[in-house]
Amino acid sequence: MKIVIISDIHGNLEALRAMPETFDELWVLGDLVSYGPNPAEVVNLVRKQATVVVRGNHDYAAGARTDPRCSAAFRAMAEATLAYADSQLSQEQRDYLARLPLLVERTVAGCRFLLCHAVPSEPLYTYCPGRSPRWAEETAKVRADVLLVGHTHIPFKLAIDGCTVVNPGSLGQPKHGQARASYAVWEDGWIELKSCAYPVAETIRKIQVMPVSEDVRQGLAEVLRTGSVPARLASEKAF
C-alpha cells in the first residue's frame, strides 16, 4: 500500500502535475487554493485523484468568503489572490472547499492516521513549526500512530512518545529554501519526506498576468523562485 501525502498546493497546477509518484491513495492536507494562478483547475484535479482531503484555512476562506487569518507578511498577497480565486471558482467548487472535513481518521494496515491542516486542537489556523514543544501536547490528546499536518510549508518528521508527526511541506509554495515541490510518501509502514522539480518559470509566467498588483506579483514570484520567504518579509511568520 503506497500513500502519497501532499499539502498547500495553493493553485500551483504545474507543481501538482509534476509530482512523479504513482500511488494507491492520495491524501491532501488542505490549502488547494490562494496565491497560485490555477485555483479551479487544482480543485478539479484534486477531486479527481484524491482519496482524502481536509480543509485548510485558505480553502475555508475561499469557500465561505472569510478571513484566512494570514500573517502580516502574506496578508496582501492572500487578499488579492483570494479575490482572484473567487472570480475563477464556481459556486459548487466554493461549497466543496467550505465543507471539507477538518479532521480525518484513517487506519491502513493497522497504522492509525490522523489528518488535519494545522494542529488537531485548532485545525485551521494555528502555526506550529517542527521545533515547537506544542507537538507533545497535541500528540498527547490524540490516538494516532501518525499525525499528518501541513500549514507551515516546511517539511519535518518528528517522533513523540509513539506518535510520528509528519509535515510534508508545501507542494505548491515551498518555503524550505529550495524551489522544489515537497511531499511525503507512506509505504508499508515507512514514511519518507521527498521533493521534486517542477516548471517554476511557467507558474511565475502565469502569476505575472494575474489581475493583482505588481507588488503582489513580485512577492509571489520571489517565494516560488527562491523557495523561501522574501528577505524583506523574513521577520514575519508567513503562511
Catalogue the E-assigned strands of 75-137. 104-108, 111-115
Enter the pTM of the model.
0.95
Residue 123: left (phi > 0), alpha (psi -120 to 50), or beta? alpha
- Give the pLDDT score at 235: 52
Taking residue 101's Cβ as centre, other Cβ atoms within 10 Å add up to 14
What is the predicted pLDDT for the residue at 71?
A: 84
- Cell readout for 18 is 509534476
Beta strands in the chain (DSSP E): 2-6, 25-28, 52-53, 104-108, 111-115, 146-148, 156-160, 163-167, 181-187, 190-196
- Three cell numbers written together for 59: 480553502
CATH of the structural domain 2-103+169-233, one choice from 1.10.10.60, 1.10.357.10, 3.40.50.1010, 3.60.21.10: 3.60.21.10
Q: Are residues 78 and 68 in contact, defined by beta-carbon separation less than 8 angstroms?
A: yes
Please say whether the beta carbons of 34 and 12 come within 8 A.
no
- Residue ranges covered by each domain of the chain: 2-103+169-233
**Which cell numbers hold the place of 78?**
492572500
pLDDT at 73: 83
The most distant pair of C-alpha atoms in the chain lies apart, rounded to whole Å, by 51
Residue (of 183, 186, 117) closest to 145 by Cα position: 186
74 grid coordinates: 502574506
What is the b/e burial string over 153-184, where b = at least 16 CB atoms within 10 angstroms of the residue's CB? bbbbebeeeebbbbbbbbbbbbbbeebbbbbb
- pLDDT below 50 — which residues of the chain? 236-238
* Residue 143 Rama label (left phi>0; alpha psi -120 to 50; beta): beta
Backbone angles phi, psi at 174, to 5 degrees: -65, 145
pLDDT digits (tens, 9 = 90+) for 79-124: 999 999 999 999 999 999 999 999 999 999 999 999 999 999 999 9
CA distance 207 to 7: 20
For residue 238, the model assigns a pLDDT of: 47
